[in-house]
Amino acid sequence: MFETSIIIQLLNKALQFAKNNAFCINGEYFSYSEFIQRIAVISESLQNNKENNIGLIANDDIDTYASIFAIWVTGKVYIPLSPETPEERNQNIIKQVGIKTILDSNKTQKLQSHDFFTSMSLLNTRIQTVDFNNQLAYIFFTSGSTGNPKGVTISKNNIASFVEAFWAMGYSINEADRCLQMFELTFDLSVMSYLIPLLKGACVYTIPKGKIKYSYIFELLDEQELTVALMVPSILNYLRPYFSEIDCPRLRYSLFCGEALHENIIDEWSKCVPNAQIDNVYGPTEDTIFCTRYTYNRDEKNDSHNGILSIGRSMLNNHAIVFNDINEPAGYSQIGELCLAGEQLTPGYFNNSALNKEMFFTVKHKGIETRFYRTGDLCLMRENGNIDYIGRKDSQVKIQGFRIELSEIEYHTKKAINEQFPLISIVLKNKSGNNEIAVVFESSEFELNGINEYLNSKIPPYMVPTKYYFLQQFPLNTNGKIDRKKIIEKFKI
């Protein structure tokens, strides 16, 4: 399934549109012919490598994208490592997986490419020697509550199932499309953003490192007349002051994922993209990119809860069920935990049997024993089958689309102050309407010398708090627990 729907499909499109642009990276274009040539020569360098798990430094260049496919066609697994992430965190991942081979386009001498037809022949020959069934495609590491990142394994069959479900929703993408890829390669939404366009011969436009993301997206939408864009909703908060200047009649599909999508800002955005189908898609890393969809209705009332647009219903071969506390489906309009099952569901966390036992359970669904994943998202199902997002069951939140555990931030911040004082981390809305992390100490005010430097050496930049506050005593609720709501209200911007 992976071989035919992804690898062979890519090769066929590359042959059909060899001279078309496959990528635009920092203003430089790369054709499908060039892309295939880079895949072939990199795969050739890997074919005798006995290591299965290959680390990949997530640079923004043609060789990094080619390396993903080279890793796949040689039957291996890629584990993206961000060059912006603290070295200690990357070393943690490398140690967990036992990575011995790391591809870094910035440090490795560029291999000399074969010509296009030789490259095509090499790749067609190579894939005949690989059994793609049940192989892993990648391992993405997400925030862990103990300060230890956890690895989510995704199989090649999972990705093939996502691709099948994506096309089943009726998206019509072709070689004339210009598609946004705004995500770091350590974020699973990147997979859809590069993979889907390449399977149709379209061009992928990336965001260069060091650029202001929302500003560069504005430029691409305006100057390159993008036709397909998957973004995190927080980008709209940054673009909002410029909505009056944004006119994108060529944008055909405008998708959002990674955070709650508020109806009021979509009402405004819809005027900027008058001809676009606007979709709110949802899914954790554990269910391969996304697994539900809701299409915004320009002319009728939309399903929403507290101003948050519905996440819709399951895609093909997926199940999204709201369960109550005893693992039974909740009734319509009853709040429960959203649980996911189906062909996109991860085989499990890498080398973490305890977490697998905690996060997955098996019950009968439509008479069949079915394995479900607990998302931790509180939702309710409407009678029409659409699902409304309510909020988080635990302390996991989204910052800039990245899923993080507040407890991980608390863990490292306590280490930074030698655990002298109690503290909690909270999420506040900034003036742009985006989430920011703050830490509140139960203490008199003290100097925070070196705390940010310490945190920057332990966690990615998007997890480092932007604000620090002090309280002599934390308020408690009736259960004797720290009342986070009161603290958030006190420091709300």
CB 22 within 8 A of CB 34: yes
The mean per-residue pLDDT over the stretch 248-260 comes to 95
pLDDT score at 143: 79
Q: Tens of pLDDT along 472-492?
A: 988 876 445 678 888 998 888
Distance, CA of 152 to CA of 142 (rounded, Å): 7
pLDDT score at 145: 65
Neighbours of 447 (CB within 10 A): 6
Backbone φ and ψ of 348, nearest 5°: 140, 175
Chain mean pLDDT for the chain: 92
Check whether 129 has a pLDDT greater than 80: yes
Check whether 54 has a pLDDT greater than 90: yes
Q: Give the β-pairing of 435-442 and 423-429.
A: antiparallel
Check whether 306 has a pLDDT greater than 90: no
Picking from 119-133, 199-213, 295-309, 402-416, which range would have the lowest pLDDT averaged per residue?
Answer: 402-416
Question: How distant, in Å, are the alpha carbons of 204, 208, 377 from that of 239?
Answer: 21, 18, 27
Task: Tell me the pLDDT band of 441, cut-offs 50, 70 and 90.
Answer: very high
Distance, CA of 262 to CA of 383 (rounded, Å): 21
Task: Tell me the pLDDT band of 326, cut-offs 50, 70 and 90.
Answer: confident
pLDDT score at 146: 66
Check whether 380 has a pLDDT greater than 80: yes
Q: Which residues contact 376 (CB under 8 A, 6 or more apart)?
A: 337, 392, 393, 394, 396
Could you give the angle at which helices 116-127 and 32-46 cross, rounded to 10 degrees? 50
Burial of 107 (0-12, 13-18, 19+ CB in 10 A): exposed
pLDDT score at 477: 64
CA-based angle 280:297:263, to the nearest 5?
55
Check whether 115 has a pLDDT greater than 80: yes
pLDDT score at 481: 64
Task: Tell me the pLDDT band of 324, cut-offs 50, 70 and 90.
Answer: very high
More confident residue, 382 or 422: 382
Question: How distant, in Å, are the alpha carbons of 443, 467, 483, 484, 490 from that of 473?
Answer: 7, 18, 11, 12, 13
Check whether 166 has a pLDDT greater than 90: yes
Check whether 232 has a pLDDT greater than 80: yes
The mean per-residue pLDDT over the stretch 60-67 comes to 97
Question: How distant, in Å, are the alpha carbons of 7, 293, 384 from that of 168?
Answer: 19, 12, 20
Q: Tens of pLDDT along 25-48?
A: 999 999 999 999 999 999 999 988
The mean per-residue pLDDT over the stretch 337-357 comes to 96
Distance, CA of 141 to CA of 96 (rounded, Å): 10
Backbone φ and ψ of 54, nearest 5°: -110, 120
